[in-house]
Structure 1
Amino acid sequence: MTDQDQKTVQLNEKTLDGSSPPQSDVEVGEILEDHGADYGLQRRLGSRHLTMVGIGSSIGMGLWLGSGTSLTRGGPASIFLGYVLSGTVVWAVNQSIGELAVMYPLPSAFVRWSSKFIDPSMGFALGWATFFSSPITMANEIQGLCTVLGFWTDKVPIPAWVTIWAIVIIVINIGAVNIWGEFEVTASSIKLFWIVVVIISCIVISAGGGPKGDAIGFRYWNEMPFINGFKGFLRVMPTCIFAMSGAESSGIVAAEAGNPLKAVPAAVRSIWVRLSLFYVIGALMVTITVSPKDPNLFGGSGVNASPYVIAFRNAGVEPLAHIMNAVIFVSVLSTGSISPLLGSRTILGLGNLKMAPKIFAKCDKSGRPWGGLLLVFIIGWPLAYLNVNHTASEVFTWLSNLTSLFTLFTWGLICLSHIRFRAAWKAQGHSVSELPWKTKTFPFAAWWGLVWCMILIVVEFYLAVWPLHAKSSAQTFFANYVSVILIILLYFGARFHYKGAWFIAAKDIDLREGRRYYAARKEKKGNFIKRAIDGMMGGGSF
């Protein structure tokens, strides 16, 4: 930690033990104390890093390629409604993350929150579930890179591609965290710019403005809005959840932010950009330009291309198809590079909580948790070779189902941790006005996110027992639902070890441990319109 980070500052409220910290001339949002919670990580990320990670962190294979499988299985209305519903859950989860990550911007944040506000057994299960999802996602993104490159050439063997891009992801992650942050800012900027191009281009193509002049409009909505009925809609949901997995990454990355009070709310405020532009409107563009019956869609019998690439190619705009494929490549590489960071920081927290071997509890002088990084690579790299003996879409389905269940469990516990935090805050005599940053959506958003995560876990159980276009079998069930079985085993194994109450009593929760204190807020002055725009884009406090 730097000297500046360790300065003591005047708070706008009393500390929990009733004393006021000494004063010092520092900026609003500087950290008062961290109670030794950094675990050797270095706070080198700024607001723009967290904001851009918040906007583009999960924009990868799930959206650009996975929407093709969703379109063929569920139809236009199913994929659109699936992203709308999933988007409301992500929005709710991020409201909880914002409030908790400002107060407790800790490595392996979700593990610490669950252990603190629910019970250690839940933190243990969540921590290992979050960790295991990281190498699975990394493997899925690597095989996605192979699929994207297959659009241009099939001369390079898949094992060679897997090896090359696994090494690239490793290189991105072994540098200092600010180098990783700059890469993500660049990739997210490309995604944000290009989605605007995609939206405008797809509207023009759908209206018949392309070289081939075929007006599509809502033809496919009229002809086949729901394919495979309600079950087809349910089958789309795991892919939508997988596409949005990583939306919680700002909660973990906050531990390496120089000013969480500024950076975390900025990331939370910008979530609407990703949800509306990328997922909801982006999914709508697919449904008005590409037929669900197109054989070249990812998961079909043709070239297995992204629906966005197919939209441009079918319209006769070949240059845009190639540019689109290049942007998808950057997006998938970006998402793949996030997974090792999230997994290594998660197991770092587990190690420091004595929930993982000591080898994972340390960082080097540059703040790199080598033990966690190596374990993610050791598991994720071999998994990527599944693409050699199976089709890309088949591997994608397996891995995305596993990841979506881990994701739902993580999201649900984030919301539950927020509910329990507020209960403890109230039980110990504190008012909402004392919070350094508070969401205006509590308790509605937290309960909305928690309930829907529970419902969607049940939905995936139904699909594992009665799969779409396949007979029920033990093999199919375990292939699609083994994540939940693992979570249950982890939780009850931890319960046997920790024992105690199922929930820590609200009055007994230690609100001081791991908490960050900040300088007093100052009212922002200046142009009202500018502050409004800054607030919507995540750059200010509106």
Structure 2
Amino acid sequence: MSSLSKEESKLDNSSDGIELNAVAPFPEKKNHIQQFFDSFKRAEISPEDLEYANDPSLTEAERNAFLLQKTPFRKSLKSRHLQMIAIGGSVGTGLFIGSGSALRTGGAASLPICWCIVGVLAYCTIHALGEVSSTYPISGAFSAHATRFIEPSVGFAIGWNYVLLWLVVLPSEIIAASLTIQFWDSSVNPVVWVAIFYCLILTINIFGVRGYGEAEYFFSMVKVIAILGFLVLGIVLVCGGGPSHGFVGGINYRNPGPFTNGFKGVCTVFVTACYSVGGSELVGVSGAESSNPRKELPKAIKQVFWRMMLFFVGSLTLISLLVNAKDQRLLGTSSADAEASPFVIAIKNGGIKGLPSVMNAVILMSVISVGNASVFGCSRTLASLSTQGLAPSCFSYVDRMGRPIFGIAAVACTGLLAFTVASDKESTIFSWLMALCGLSIIFTWCSINISHIRFRLAMKAQGRSLDELTFTSHAGIWGSVLSLVILVIFLFLQFWVALWPVSHKGVDVTNFFQNYLGAIIVLVSYIGRKIYKRKFWEFLPLNEIPLDAGRAEVDIDELQHEIEEEEKKMQSRGRLYRWYRWWC
């Protein structure tokens, strides 16, 4: 009997005498276009998970933690993606262009001083985020942690302020990219380049988290190579090894001096420094979509320190030596003028032809990279807020490719603001848009440190051991306390320089609102939600904070066994290797 006959005889076996189809139907093979459209359908949660989420015995915090853990994102980010996102993810216009205005305002010495202090802040803050995120690798990261460990109104205010930041960053970075092109050719209308870069960034994100990861890997690699090359070149130029053969040394520290506007000028530079390293916290958001957050996230977190010290502090120390704070080119024609970049100016001063164009190409890629990150960060934060009931429910829609498609659509809509580049009011519009979220990074970092402090205190109150954690912050709880204190001092100093700016003799109300409106927005969001919900006290006692809901590893004994095995292997290696692994 043939194989087909055997199959027919098996199928034709119904006890009630009804004849079944002789040959089992093969599933219809879909073409690539149909598969593409089907990928936008909602990714379904299993019935078991839905049943558990509707368990009436769960508290609201436990239910939210479970749903955030089960958000159907694709776990497609590899270790190399997280490593490069951590090393070069936030390197963008804040470093390459914004440092120019910081140099002019604060003076040569303000660059290494401010970036060193902010580097210490970022080190403590990102380690705190890494400890909590590696334990709870859930969508939304710090905004979700603020809801759980502080209270929902704080999570609402911080989350939405962070969303606003990225909503404004995307069009501003697209404009910056279009203006950067004018370094080579100013004859083409910048609107044309806006359209090209707008479509490019959205196309990258349509490929899901893998597209974002691969793009960031490439962009970050280019930025890392460029900065390493500049570090070598900068040392050569300072020592007089350039075409001019002139020893630079500390000339610019003597004339016009280390500080151009005294202590107030240094305080102004702090905000620029915080903005330039903003985006480091995206490592925590990315961790929720990595294939193995327990092992990969800590490695990525540890890279932040080296990036701060080598890339930011190292390159900006050389910039302070190579570029005079009174150089008129630092003024630029706009905040996105690549010719105002101190990196480009330093290379031009060195008399090296061709390299300014190379550095400008790196700046262009950096701008696109930040725009790409803005779509990722904003859409994931919106999805997290929606899952917690802090945003419209449509934003919790995640399709079969793991894309929060309505969040991406929201960012795409605000990205259309980039076409205001054709208007002569573009700078005014974006000055006020940025004012809505100008202090977002500082408030975000404050929430990360408070969440970490509350997490550690909850562990202690519930008699839990730190041995249960996959990664512990090198700075510990006191590092988070120190960071929080310095950030609060920053807010007071920013209030001072916003109301009495360097460039104005008296009180400047317009400048105050353009620099401090973000604080008012956060406060209004926090109080507004409390009034709307009529819940004026939502702080959970430390002994009631759910520490097991949403954990990456529920079996603590198995986790501790794995950690012990890893420590034994580490002890068998040399001291130098152990030292390296502790830092990296």
Fold-level similarity (TM above 0.5): yes
**Counterpart position of 1:83:** 115
The separation in 1 between residues aligned to 2:499 and 2:68, in whole angstroms, is: 46
User: Does the 8 Å CA contact 1:140/1:396 hold for their aligned counterparts?
Assistant: yes
User: Does the 8 Å CA contact 1:297/1:303 hold for their aligned counterparts?
Assistant: no
The separation in 1 between residues aligned to 2:429 and 2:576, in whole angstroms, is: 47
The separation in 2 between residues aligned to 1:395 and 1:74, in whole angstroms, is: 26
The separation in 2 between residues aligned to 1:84 and 1:395, in whole angstroms, is: 32
**Counterpart position of 1:21:** none
1:503 and 2:539 aligned:
yes
User: Does the 8 Å CA contact 1:112/1:349 hold for their aligned counterparts?
Assistant: yes
Residue in structure 2 matching 1:450, options 448, 472, 484: 484
The separation in 2 between residues aligned to 1:232 and 1:153, in whole angstroms, is: 35
The separation in 2 between residues aligned to 1:93 and 1:450, in whole angstroms, is: 9
CA radius of gyration, larger in: 2
The separation in 1 between residues aligned to 2:338 and 2:217, in whole angstroms, is: 31
Residue in structure 2 matching 1:513, options 540, 549, 567: 549
The separation in 2 between residues aligned to 1:251 and 1:285, in whole angstroms, is: 31
Cα 1:226/1:402, change in 2 over 3 Å: farther
Between the aligned residues of both structures, percent identity stands at: 33
Letter in 2 for 1:263: E
The separation in 2 between residues aligned to 1:347 and 1:146, in whole angstroms, is: 27
Letter in 2 for 1:103: T
Query: Structure 2 matches for 1:175-214, cutoff 5 A?
Result: 175-214=207-246
CA shift, 1:235, in A, is 1.4
The separation in 1 between residues aligned to 2:134 and 2:220, in whole angstroms, is: 23
The separation in 1 between residues aligned to 2:573 and 2:434, in whole angstroms, is: 46
Query: Structure 2 matches for 1:456-471, cutoff 5 A?
Result: 456-470=490-504, 471=506
Cα 1:365/1:494, change in 2 over 3 Å: same
After superposition, the CA RMSD in angstroms is 2.6
The separation in 1 between residues aligned to 2:239 and 2:576, in whole angstroms, is: 35
User: Does the 8 Å CA contact 2:438/2:515 hold for their aligned counterparts?
Assistant: no
User: Does the 8 Å CA contact 1:386/1:395 hold for their aligned counterparts?
Assistant: no
1:424 and 2:470 aligned:
no
SS state of the match for residue 299, structure 1?
coil
SS state of the match for residue 205, structure 2?
helix
CA shift, 1:82, in A, is 1.3
**Counterpart position of 1:136:** 168
CA shift, 1:404, in A, is 4.4
CA shift, 1:436, in A, is 2.0
The separation in 2 between residues aligned to 1:235 and 1:351, in whole angstroms, is: 36
User: Does the 8 Å CA contact 1:239/1:401 hold for their aligned counterparts?
Assistant: no
Gaps of 5+ in 1: 7-16, 18-32
The separation in 1 between residues aligned to 2:388 and 2:185, in whole angstroms, is: 48
**Counterpart position of 1:438:** 472
The separation in 1 between residues aligned to 2:77 and 2:354, in whole angstroms, is: 36
Task: Name which of structure 1's ranges 416-425 and 512-521 shifts more when overlaid on structure 2.
Answer: 512-521
**Counterpart position of 1:407:** 441
SS state of the match for residue 270, structure 1?
helix
Letter in 2 for 1:283: L
Letter in 2 for 1:265: P
How many residues were matched structurally?
Answer: 510
1:283 and 2:333 aligned:
no
The separation in 2 between residues aligned to 1:299 and 1:467, in whole angstroms, is: 20
SS state of the match for residue 227, structure 1?
coil
Letter in 1 for 2:238: S
**Counterpart position of 1:241:** 274
Query: Structure 2 matches for 1:369-380, cutoff 5 A?
Result: 369-380=404-415
Gaps of 5+ in 2: 1-42, 49-57, 59-64
User: Does the 8 Å CA contact 1:241/1:404 hold for their aligned counterparts?
Assistant: no
1:305 and 2:368 aligned:
no
Q: Deviations over 1:383-418 (max 9, x none)?
A: 5625842587x8887666655401100000000000
The separation in 1 between residues aligned to 2:492 and 2:273, in whole angstroms, is: 16
1:266 and 2:299 aligned:
yes
User: Does the 8 Å CA contact 1:254/1:260 hold for their aligned counterparts?
Assistant: yes
Letter in 2 for 1:81: I
Cα 1:74/1:391, change in 2 over 3 Å: farther
CA shift, 1:339, in A, is 0.7
Q: Deviations over 1:290-310 (max 9, x none)?
A: 111222225369984311111
**Counterpart position of 1:22:** none
1:494 and 2:526 aligned:
no
Cα 1:345/1:429, change in 2 over 3 Å: same
User: Does the 8 Å CA contact 1:187/1:330 hold for their aligned counterparts?
Assistant: yes
Letter in 1 for 2:210: N
Residue in structure 2 matching 1:110, options 142, 149, 156: 142
User: Does the 8 Å CA contact 2:73/2:289 hold for their aligned counterparts?
Assistant: yes
User: Does the 8 Å CA contact 2:379/2:404 hold for their aligned counterparts?
Assistant: yes
